[in-house]
Chain A
Amino acid sequence: MLLQFVINGLITGILYSLAAVGFAIAYNTTHVFHIAAAAVYTAAAYCFFFAVRTVGMPVWAAAGVALAFAAALNLACEVAVYRPLNQRKAAHSVVMIASIGVLAVILNLVAMLFGNETKIIDNTIQPAIRWGSLILSRPQAFQLGLGIAALAAFAVFLRFTSFGLKARAFGNDPALFALFGFGDASTRMGAYAIGGVFLGAASCLSAYDVGMSPHSGMPVLINALVAMIIGGIGRFTACIAGGILLGILQALAVWRFAANWQPAVTFSLLLVFLFFRPQGLFGYKKRIV
C-alpha cells in the first residue's frame, strides 16, 4: 500500500519536474518570473484536445502538434513581451506584472474558446498494468516512461550541447556572455522554445490521464515553483530532484494525513526551504540579492 503511494507520488513528481524544468530553463537564463508559463501549460493541453477530438489526429501526432504549439506560444511571450521590456531596461517586477497580464489574457481566451468546464481526451476505460500488488494505469505508465526519458534527454542535452553551455553561461552572467560576442537574443529564444516543449510535455501527459480545465495550469505552476525552490534555483537539473521529492512527499502526506491537507504540507515545505535553506538542496550557496 505504501509502495503504491510512493509510485503514484513519483509519477506526480515527474510531471512537476517536467513543468519545473520548463519554467526553470527560462528563469535561470533570463531571470524573468514567467508566470504566464501556467497559461502556456493550459493552452498546450487544449491544443492537444483540439487536435485529437476535433481534427481527429492520432494521439502521438496530436502530442507533437501540442508540443510545437507550446514552444511557439512560450516563444511568443518572450518576443512580444519580455524582450521588448528587457530592452527598455524595465525593472524585474514590471516584467513579472506584465507576465501576470499575459497569463490572464491567454487563460481567458482559452476559456472563451473551449468553455470553463473540464474536458477529457480519452474517455474509454483502459486496461491497468498489474505488477504484484502494484497497479499502474496506462496513462500513468506513459507518464513514468516518457517523463523519465524527457528528463534524461534534458540533462544530457544541457550537459553536452553548446546551447546547454551557453544557457548556463548566460544565466550566470549575461553581461560577460555578451562581452564574449555571443548573441543573447538567440539564447533567450532557445531557452523559451525548449521551456515551452517541457511545459507542453507535462501538460499533455497530464491531460491524457485526467483531462484539463482552464484552471489546471496555475496549481501545477505553483507546485513547479516549489519544486524549483526545493531543488535549488540556478541549477537546471536540480529541479528534477525537487519535483520528484515534492511529489513523493505529497503522496506520503495524503497517506499519513488526508488529501485536503496536502497544500498545507506543500507550502509549509516552501516556507521552510525559503527561510532555512534558500539555496535549495543542490543549489549554489550565494548571497541572495
Chain B
Amino acid sequence: MTYLLHIAIMANLYILLVLAANLPAGRVGLLSLCQAAFYGIGAYLAAFFLIQFQLPFVMVAGAVMLAAALVSLLVSYASIKLKGDYFVLATLGFQMLVFTLLYNWISVTRGPYGISGIPGVQLFGWGFGKLSGVGGYFVFSTVLSVAAATLFVHLKRSPFGSLTQAVRDDETALAALGRNPDRIKFQSFFISAAFSALAGLLYASYIGYIDPTSFTLDESIFILSALFIGGVGNVAGPVAGALFVVILPEVLRFVGLPDAVAANLRQIIYGLALVLTMFLRPQGLFGEAEVAK
C-alpha cells in the first residue's frame, strides 16, 4: 500500500511539472529546455525556508513560487528577444548555468553533497498540521495536482487561454489586432515557473533530501518527453503523459528484468514512444494542438 501511495505521489508531482511545461511549450509554442531549472530552484528555496523558518505551507509556497517566477523573467526576456533554435539554445544555457550553480556553489547549496533533513510541510505552521508519511503526502499532493489541473482547465478556457493559443498560431496577426504577444509569453513563463517550483517544494519536503542531480538537463528533457508523448495543448494530454512516465517503470519492475537493463529499456521505450508519436500523432496521444513551429 505504501508502495502504491508513493507511486501516486510521484505521479501527482509529475502532473504538476508536465502541466507547468505545457503552458509555454504546448500552448504558447515555446520549447524550453529549462523546466528542471525552475523545479530545482523551487526545491532548493523550499529546503531553505523549511529548515530555517518553520513557516506554514501557504507562505512557503507563496515565497518559493514567486521567487522562481521572478527568475523566469530571464527566460521570458530570452523568449521575446530570440526565436526558434536560438531560444531553445538560450534555455539550454540557462538550465546548465542553474545546474552549475547548484552543483558548485558549495557554501550555499552544499553542492554534490545535497541537503538532507528537510522537514515536512506544515499546513498551519509552528508544528500544526505537520505532514509526515506517505498517507499525508498522498492526500496533500492529490489536492495540489487536482487544484492545478482545475486551474489550467480554467486558464485554457479563459481569454488568457485564447491569447496563448493565438501567440502559438500567429504572433503577427495577434500583434496586428492590438494585443501584446511579449506580455503573454512573459505571463505564461511566470505561471509555468511558479508551478514547477511548487513541484520542487513538494519533492523537497516529501523526500527530505535533495541534490543537484535531480535537476539536470536530462530531467528537463524527461519532462518534455512526458509532455509530448501524452499530448500538448490541453490538460488531459499532460496528465496522461505524466502517468505514463511514472507508471511504466513500475510495470517493467514486475516483468522481472535486472535493474541495469530495466533502466536502459525504459529509456528506449520512452525514446521509441517519442519518435512514434511524432510520426503518427504529433499532438501527442491525448493532446489537441499541433506542436508549434
Least CB distance, A79 to chain B, in whole angstroms: 14
Least CB distance, A269 to chain B, in whole angstroms: 9
| Set A81, A105, A226, A263: member contacting B268, Cβ < 8 A | A105
Give chain B's interface residues, CB within 8 Å of chain A. 29, 31, 78, 81-86, 88-90, 92-94, 96-97, 99-101, 103-104, 217, 221, 224-225, 228, 260-261, 264-265, 267-268, 270-275, 278-279, 282, 290-293
Please, what's the 1-or-0 string for A88-104, where 1 marks a CB less than 8 Å from any CB in chain B? 10111111111011111
| Set B82, B221, B268, B271: member contacting A288, Cβ < 8 A | B82
| Set B82, B83, B92: member contacting A222, Cβ < 8 A | B92
Cβ A116 vs Cβ B260 within 8 A: yes
Cβ A225 vs Cβ B89 within 8 A: yes
A289, CB-defined interface residue at 8 Å: yes
A261, CB-defined interface residue at 8 Å: yes
A161, CB-defined interface residue at 8 Å: no
Contacts of A111 in B (CB 8 A): 264
Contacts of B224 in A (CB 8 A): 97, 100
Please name 6 further chain A to chain B contacts, defined as beta carbons within 8 Å, in addition to the given A105-B268, A271-B90, sorted by A numbering.
Answer: A33-B88, A94-B291, A97-B224, A112-B265, A222-B96, A278-B86
Q: How large is the interface on A (under 10, 10 to 19, 20 to 34, 35 or more residues)?
A: 35 or more
Alpha-carbon distance between A56 and B273 when the two chains are bound, in angstroms: 37
Cβ B271 vs Cβ A270 within 8 A: no
Q: Which 7 A-B pairs have the closest CB atoms?
A: A104-B271, A101-B274, A105-B271, A101-B275, A98-B278, A108-B264, A108-B267
Least CB distance, A114 to chain B, in whole angstroms: 11
| Set A94, A109, A274: member contacting B89, Cβ < 8 A | A274
Give chain A's interface residues, CB within 8 Å of chain B. 33, 81, 84-85, 88, 90-98, 100-105, 107-109, 111-112, 115-116, 218, 222, 225-226, 229, 260-261, 263-264, 266-268, 270-271, 274-275, 278, 288-289
Cβ A103 vs Cβ B90 within 8 A: no
Alpha-carbon distance between A218 and B96 when the two chains are bound, in angstroms: 12
Contacts of A226 in B (CB 8 A): 93
What are 17 sample pairs from A and B whose C-beta atoms fall under 8 A apart? A92-B293, A94-B282, A100-B221, A100-B271, A101-B272, A104-B225, A108-B268, A108-B271, A109-B264, A261-B104, A264-B97, A264-B100, A264-B104, A267-B97, A270-B93, A274-B82, A288-B83
Alpha-carbon distance between A101 and B225 when the two chains are bound, in angstroms: 8
Cβ B275 vs Cβ A289 within 8 A: no
Closest Cβ neighbor of B83 among chain A residues? A288
| Set B92, B100, B267, B278: member contacting A85, Cβ < 8 A | B278
Closest Cβ neighbor of B74 among chain A residues? A271
Alpha-carbon distance between A263 and B105 when the two chains are bound, in angstroms: 13
Contacts of B99 in A (CB 8 A): 263
Alpha-carbon distance between A3 and B278 when the two chains are bound, in angstroms: 49
Contacts of A289 in B (CB 8 A): 83-84
Contacts of A229 in B (CB 8 A): 89
Contacts of A274 in B (CB 8 A): 78, 82, 86, 89-90, 93
Contacts of A264 in B (CB 8 A): 97, 100-101, 104
| Most B Cβ at <10 Å: residue of A33, A104, A108, A271 | A104
Cβ A91 vs Cβ B282 within 8 A: yes
Closest Cβ neighbor of B282 among chain A residues? A94
Closest Cβ neighbor of A110 among chain B residues? B264
Contacts of B85 in A (CB 8 A): 33, 92
User: Given contacts A92-B84, A94-B278, A104-B268, is CB(A263)–CB(B291) below 8 Å?
Assistant: no
Cβ A267 vs Cβ B100 within 8 A: yes
User: Given contacts A93-B293, A94-B278, A108-B267, is CB(A288)–CB(B273) below 8 Å?
Assistant: no
User: Given contacts A94-B282, A275-B78, is CB(A260)–CB(B104) below 8 Å?
Assistant: yes
Closest Cβ neighbor of A275 among chain B residues? B81
Cβ A278 vs Cβ B82 within 8 A: yes
Alpha-carbon distance between A116 and B262 when the two chains are bound, in angstroms: 13
Alpha-carbon distance between A136 and B96 when the two chains are bound, in angstroms: 31
Cβ A103 vs Cβ B93 within 8 A: no
Cβ B278 vs Cβ A90 within 8 A: yes
Alpha-carbon distance between A105 and B100 when the two chains are bound, in angstroms: 27
| Most A Cβ at <10 Å: residue of B78, B88, B221, B264 | B264
Contacts of A92 in B (CB 8 A): 84-85, 293
Cβ A108 vs Cβ B274 within 8 A: no
Cβ A263 vs Cβ B261 within 8 A: no
| Most B Cβ at <10 Å: residue of A96, A116, A271, A289 | A271
User: Given contacts A90-B282, A105-B268, is CB(A112)–CB(B93) below 8 Å?
Assistant: no
| Set A93, A103, A267: member contacting B291, Cβ < 8 A | A93
